[in-house]
Amino acid sequence: MSQPNVSESPFRTIDLIRKKRDGGALSSAEIGYLVNGGTDGSIPDYQMAAWLMAVVLRGMTREETAALTHSMLHSGEVLDFSFLPARKVDKHSTGGVGDKTSLILAPLVAAGGLFVPMISGRGLGHTGGTLDKLESIPGFRVGLAVPEFHRVLKACGCSMIGQTEKVAPADRKLYALRDVTGTVESPYLICASIMSKKLAEGTDALVLDVKTGSGAFMKKEENAVFLAELMVETGERMGKQMAALITDMNQPLGRMVGNALEVQECIEVLHGGGPADLRDLCLELAAWMFYLGGASKTVAQGKQLSEEIIASGKAFDRFRQMVELQGGDISTIDDPARLPTADHRVEVRSRHAGYVTAIACEQVGTACVILGGGRERKEDSIDPAVAIAVHKKIGDQVSAGEALCTIHCHSDAQAVRARILLEESYQIAAAPPTHKTAMVHRVIYKGEH
Ligand code: URA
């Protein structure tokens, strides 16, 4: 949808800011005008910021959210994978601690006959990023140009890359503005930001993993559900098959938090092992990807298919093939001990005997960032070797002095701040927690499954 530029436009920016400030709903043409003007610079940042703040305070209708997503999506290139001979599916997570499912899902679902063109992100705040994990594999290239992305997809059914300059440039501009004007926290703006990038991948179906709990951006379940429903509806309006799983992020997913060791844990799952929570969540998400992509008649069948593919070794083979095609050193995949490692260990021990009743999961993510496993500033580089190996999770019994987790680092001095954070993040009580929280809290999907 191309819009006239500011000088030829029938709209005045200030009128649109006032309209939103007073609780009105903007038309698609008005939203298109703002997005285009904000992206090409013809509307100044201070006016865009005023409009964004009005959206934060007044909200948007579903129609406005869809129009905003549409304009942001079409501000750049929309990839076309119609040449691929099967349906294309993807998964998006809102971000968590130890959340490494993408590395397992892409090859698993590709091995089941669907295509997975995955454009991923880097760590954000206390959460880890898929690209940072992949780059802990020596040589792995996440910056493929579109023709090479196509080649890898055709050859092995999946490819994982970073956002190109050409995809959703409006989001890049608006996100940078939101970041410094206190306007990130709006479900409408988050929905348009995420969905504009994901829809640009040109997939037929998208499964959303919307995290909730102490390690998620949406700490309250009701906020996670609201965002999930908004994203599902927005995707459906654009003709995509959509489902969202609201999943638990009250403790790290799996046992490892830190890039290279997370890759190692993914390889364990692809070989049929790995921690039960990580494996179970991957099976659930893959089942939905197969179902929405039309590779299984029901979600239950999709789950069975996923289990069979892992057991057959085909998912691991696809992962190995993708790593090779994207320049990664496959000797590290065949022998994960060759991935980057940090030789020093610092144990974080429990002061009391009892049961783990809660983990301040965001603090665990922050501890990893402080060690160098994430970025405190945009320009920071990542140390792929540092990590936190989590030994005790919610419900586990501990004795006094027993290790709750182990910090993998390069010296005692490096671990001081992370150790304090980790010690403080565990709650130990005399009695075990009274109920076990399910991994999938609920599913948002309109049809039968
Ligand atoms: N992630 C995004 O890509 N956009 C947002 O607005 C928030 C999280």
Nearest-CA residue for atom 2 of ligand 1: 194
Give every CB contact of residue 95 below 8 A, 6+ residues apart in sequence.
124, 125, 127, 211, 216, 217
Distance, in Å, from the CA atom of 109 to the CA atom of 290, rounded to the nearest integer, reads 7
Confidence at 4, pLDDT banded by 50, 70, 90: low
Q: Pull the structure tokens for residue 4.
A: 């006239």
3-state secondary structure of 186: coil
Q: Please say whether the dihedral angle defined by the alpha carbons of residues 270, 271, 275 and 279, taken in this order, is positive or negative.
A: positive
* DSSP E strand stretches across 2-101: 89-93
256-257/397-398 β-pairing: unpaired
* Interval 352-375: pLDDT, tens: 999 999 999 999 999 999 999 998
Tokens of 3: 């819009």
Calpha distance 92→31 (Å, rounded): 25
Q: What percent of the chain has pLDDT over 90?
A: 89
- Residue having the nearest C-alpha atom to atom 7 of ligand 1: 190
**Is the pLDDT confidence value at 216 over 90?**
yes
pLDDT at residue 163 tops 50: yes
Atom of ligand 1 nearest to the CA of 192: 6
How confident is the model over 171-197, as a mean pLDDT? 91
Residues catalogued as catalytic: 92, 171, 178, 193, 197
DSSP class of 109:
H
Average pLDDT value for the chain: 95
Query: Residue 226 is encoded by which pair of tokens?
Result: 């609201």
Predicted pLDDT of residue 165: 83
Question: What is the pLDDT, as a whole number, of residue 1?
Answer: 46
Per-residue pLDDT tens for 40-97?
A: 999 999 999 999 999 999 999 999 999 999 999 999 999 999 999 999 999 999 999 9
Ligand 1 near 186 CB (within 6 A): no
pLDDT 10s digits, 239-264:
999 999 999 999 999 999 999 999 99
Whether 368 and 418 have beta carbons less than 8 Å apart is answered as yes
Half-sphere exposure of 286 (CA within 13 A, CB side): 32
pLDDT exceeds 70 at position 109: yes
Q: What is the pLDDT of residues 138-157, one digit of tens each?
A: 999 999 999 999 999 999 99
116 in helix, strand or coil? strand
Answer yes or no: is pLDDT of 6 > 70.
no
- Residue 174's φ and ψ, nearest 5 degrees, are -70, -35
Which pair of structure tokens corresponds to residue 123?
């760590």
| Cα–ligand 1 centroid distance for 193 (angstroms) | 6
Q: Answer whether residue 168 shows pLDDT above 80.
A: yes
How far does residue 297's CA lie from ligand 1's centre (Å)?
32
Average pLDDT, integer, range 100-121: 97
Token pair belonging to 145: 């140009």
Specify the pLDDT at position 7.
63
Contact 289/109 with Cβ under 8 angstroms?
yes
Q: Is 420 exposed, middle or buried (0-12, 13-18, 19+ CB in 10 A)?
A: middle
Q: Which residues of 201-238 are buried (b: 16+ CB within 10 A; e: fewer)?
A: bbbbbbbbbbbbbbbbbbbebebbbebbbbbbbbbebe
> What is the average pLDDT across 392-407?
98
As a whole number of angstroms, the distance between CA 207 and CA 290 comes to 10
Return the DSSP state at 373: I
Residue with tokens 């927690």: 433
Cβ distance 117 to 203 under 8 Å?
yes
d(CA 5, CA 33): 7
Distance from Cα 177 to the centre of ligand 1, integer Å: 12
For residue 56, report the distance from its CA to the centre of ligand 1, in Å: 14
Question: What's phi and psi for 12, nearest 5 deg?
Answer: -115, 130
Under the banding of pLDDT at 50, 70 and 90, the label for residue 184 is: confident
Query: Helix 299-312 to helix 101-111 angle, to the nearest 10 degrees?
Result: 90
Q: Is the CB of 190 under 6 A from ligand 1?
A: yes
Residue ranges of alpha helices (H) inside 112-202 are 130-134, 146-156, 169-179, 187-199
Whether residue 420 has pLDDT greater than 70: yes
SS3 labels along 388-448: EEECCCCCCEECCCCEEEEEEECCHHHHHHHHHHHHHHEEEECCCCCCCCCCEEEEECCCC
- Residue whose CB lies within 8 A of the most ligand 1 atoms, among 72, 124, 175, 218, for a mutation test: 175
- The per-residue pLDDT for 328 is 98
In terms of Cβ atoms closer than 10 Å to its own Cβ (0-12, 13-18, 19+), residue 2 is: exposed
Quote the pLDDT of residue 448: 79
So what's the pLDDT on residue 314? 98
Note the residue count of the chain: 449
- Is 2's pLDDT higher than 60? no
Residue 442 has phi, psi (to 5 degrees) of -165, 165
Find out whether 161 and 129 touch, Cβ atoms under 8 Å: no
**pLDDT bracket for residue 378 (50, 70, 90):** confident
